[in-house]
């Protein structure tokens, strides 16, 4: 048969097959058969060489025209089939992954805080909160830091107005709780004991770096009773350290000074990273400091109206970020406030 006649037969067959293909796979089969790299159209095209010179041009034009037409029809058919497939798909596809409900989690600082307060609650302490905007009396005066105390310098505290500051320590809550207690029971022989911990934010205009922030959290503790001794303080805090950092955590009390405690101590624990062997975190010393503590100063009892002849007490204050960094292995205090979900999602 002449080339052009064969081409017309092929064209009719191809159009038939494209039209009859009622699924994308069948249409693809037909495309390969007619338009594929070694398909029927290619075979005819190769035969142009055999045409007499006079017919070559005409044969070439017709072949190209048929090829373009078939490609166009095939494309239309493909789109129509895809649309039909989409239309026929069920609205609910049980094979698709389900819609998951993202679960939030508590901020690592909140987790650490809950952990610490939980330990003290089990030891009979009550959780009490105090205001972050404080007055000078509760932040300084009542804590035996008189007017001329260097820490009262404006450069060391956020001053809001002549009467209000942002609290620079949670020790303010000791004062508020003792005042309330004395209002209710009086500060004399009939006063029931006090055992509280107070977690919360504190503020100091410090330059921010990996271990300092202008806003950080503390947990304050206070126990007042007849015959509370320094050995009680040591016992409670050693237990706290073991509960938080593991049963073989050692504690060390170094003599120190705080205006509101006498005697005062700094509490160290054996380094949680090297277990006392010496590393970068403990600067090879084997110990890390976690906070201050001591026996309530008689001047503090006087300021709130508790009889310091009948009662004694211990107090302590720890930085929560610092404890949480040790506990969770976090290397930079700024992580807590950057709100980076890649960080927060790990806890
Ligand atoms: N308030 C102290 C500070 O911010 C920490 C502290 C030390 C609290 C000794 C206490 C304490 O209750 O007894 O540095």
Q: Which residues constitute the domain of residue 146? A: 108-344
Q: Are residues 176 and 284 in the same domain?
A: yes
Cβ neighbours for 208, distance < 8 A, ≥ 6 positions apart: 214, 334
**Which residues are near ligand 1 (CB < 6 Å)?**
169, 171, 220, 258, 261, 291-294, 315-317
Q: Decide if 100 is inside a domain.
A: no
Question: What is the tens place of the pLDDT at every residue in 119-171?
Answer: 999 999 999 999 999 999 999 999 999 999 888 887 889 999 988 999 999 99
Whole-number Å distance, alpha carbon 7 to ligand 1 midpoint, is 97
Q: What is the CATH number of the domain that holds 292?
A: 3.30.930.10
What is the overall mean pLDDT for the chain?
93
Cβ neighbours for 201, distance < 8 A, ≥ 6 positions apart: 132, 215, 216, 217
SS3 content of the chain, % helix, strand, coil (to 5): 45, 20, 35
Separation CA 303–CA 175 (nearest Å): 8
Q: Decide if 20 is inside a domain.
A: yes
> Please, what is the Cα angle at 295 between 142 and 199, to 5 degrees?
65
Whole-number Å distance, alpha carbon 219 to ligand 1 midpoint, is 9
Q: Are residues 15 and 119 in the same domain?
A: no
Pairing outcome for strands 194-203 and 126-127: parallel
Domain boundary among 37, 56, 88: 88
Whole-number Å distance, alpha carbon 171 to ligand 1 midpoint, is 6
Whole-number Å distance, alpha carbon 319 to ligand 1 midpoint, is 9
Q: Decide if 103 is inside a domain.
A: no
> Which of 291, 298, 314, 323 for a ligand 1 pocket mutation test, highest count of atoms within 8 Å of Cβ?
291
Confidence of residue 291 (pLDDT cuts 50, 70, 90): very high
Question: What is the tens place of the pLDDT at every residue in 307-342?
Answer: 999 999 999 999 999 999 988 889 899 999 999 999
Number of domains in the chain: 2
Residue of minimum CA distance from atom 4 in ligand 1: 169
Which ligand 1 atom sits closest to the C-alpha of 202? 4
Q: Decide if 113 is inside a domain.
A: yes
Question: What is the tens place of the pLDDT at every residue in 205-218?
Answer: 999 999 999 999 99
Q: Are residues 208 and 267 in the same domain?
A: yes
CA dihedral over 111, 113, 118, 119, signed as positive or negative: positive
Q: Are residues 124 and 219 in the same domain?
A: yes
Residue of minimum CA distance from atom 2 in ligand 1: 317
> Which of 316, 321, 322 for a ligand 1 pocket mutation test, highest count of atoms within 8 Å of Cβ?
316
Q: Are residues 46 and 172 in the same domain?
A: no
Which residue, 137, 175, 181, is CA-closest to 296?
175
Whole-number Å distance, alpha carbon 293 to ligand 1 midpoint, is 6
Which ligand 1 atom sits closest to the C-alpha of 222? 12
Whole-number Å distance, alpha carbon 292 to ligand 1 midpoint, is 5
Q: Are residues 65 and 146 in the same domain?
A: no
Local structure of residue 256 (DSSP, 8 states): E
Q: Are residues 269 and 198 in the same domain?
A: yes
Q: Decide if 99 is inside a domain.
A: no
Question: What is the tens place of the pLDDT at every residue in 33-81?
Answer: 999 999 999 999 888 888 888 888 888 899 999 999 999 999 999 999 9
Q: Are residues 47 and 177 in the same domain?
A: no
Q: Decide if 93 is inside a domain.
A: no
Q: Decide if 148 is inside a domain.
A: yes
Separation CA 224–CA 321 (nearest Å): 27
pLDDT of residue 16: 94
Q: Decide if 95 is inside a domain.
A: no
Whole-number Å distance, alpha carbon 122 to ligand 1 midpoint, is 22
């Amino acid at each position: 048969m002449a080339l052009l006649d064969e081409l017309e037969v092929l064209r009719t067959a191809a159009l038939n097959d494209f039209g009859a293909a009622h699924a994308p796979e069948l249409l693809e089969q037909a495309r390969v058969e007619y338009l594929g790299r070694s398909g029927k159209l290619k075979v005819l095209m190769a035969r142009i060489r055999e045409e007499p010179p006079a017919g070559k041009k005409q044969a070439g034009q017709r072949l190209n025209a048929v090829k373009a037409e078939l490609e166009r029809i095939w494309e239309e058919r493909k789109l129509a089939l895809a649309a039909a497939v989409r239309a026929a798909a069920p609205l609910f596809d049980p094979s698709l992954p389900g819609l998951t409900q993202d679960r939030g989690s508590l901020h690592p600082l909140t987790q650490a805080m809950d952990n610490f307060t939980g330990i003290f609650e089990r030891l009979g302490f009550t959780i009490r909160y105090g205001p972050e905007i404080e007055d000078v009396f509760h932040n300084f005066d009542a804590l035996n830091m008189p007017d001329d105390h260097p820490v009262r310098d404006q450069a060391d505290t956020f001053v809001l107005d002549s009467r209000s500051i942002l609290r620079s320590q949670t020790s303010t809550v000791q004062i508020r709780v003792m005042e309330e207690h004395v209002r209710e029971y009086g500060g004399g022989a009939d006063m029931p004991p006090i055992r509280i911990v107070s977690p919360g934010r504190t503020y100091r205009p410090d330059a921010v770096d990996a271990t300092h922030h202008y806003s950080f959290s503390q947990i304050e503790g206070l126990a007042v009773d007849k015959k509370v001794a320094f050995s009680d303080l040591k016992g409670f805090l050693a237990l706290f350290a073991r509960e938080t950092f593991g049963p073989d955590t050692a504690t060390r009390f170094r003599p120190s000074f705080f205006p509101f405690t006498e005697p005062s101590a700094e509490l160290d624990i054996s380094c949680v990273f090297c277990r006392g062997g010496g590393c970068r975190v403990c600067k090879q010393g084997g110990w890390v400091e976690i906070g201050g503590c001591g026996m309530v100063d008689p001047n503090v009892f006087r300021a709130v109206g508790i009889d310091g002849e009948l009662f004694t007490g211990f107090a302590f204050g720890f930085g929560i970020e610092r404890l949480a960094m040790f506990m969770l292995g976090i290397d930079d205090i700024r992580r807590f406030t950057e709100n980076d979900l890649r960080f927060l999602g790990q806890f």
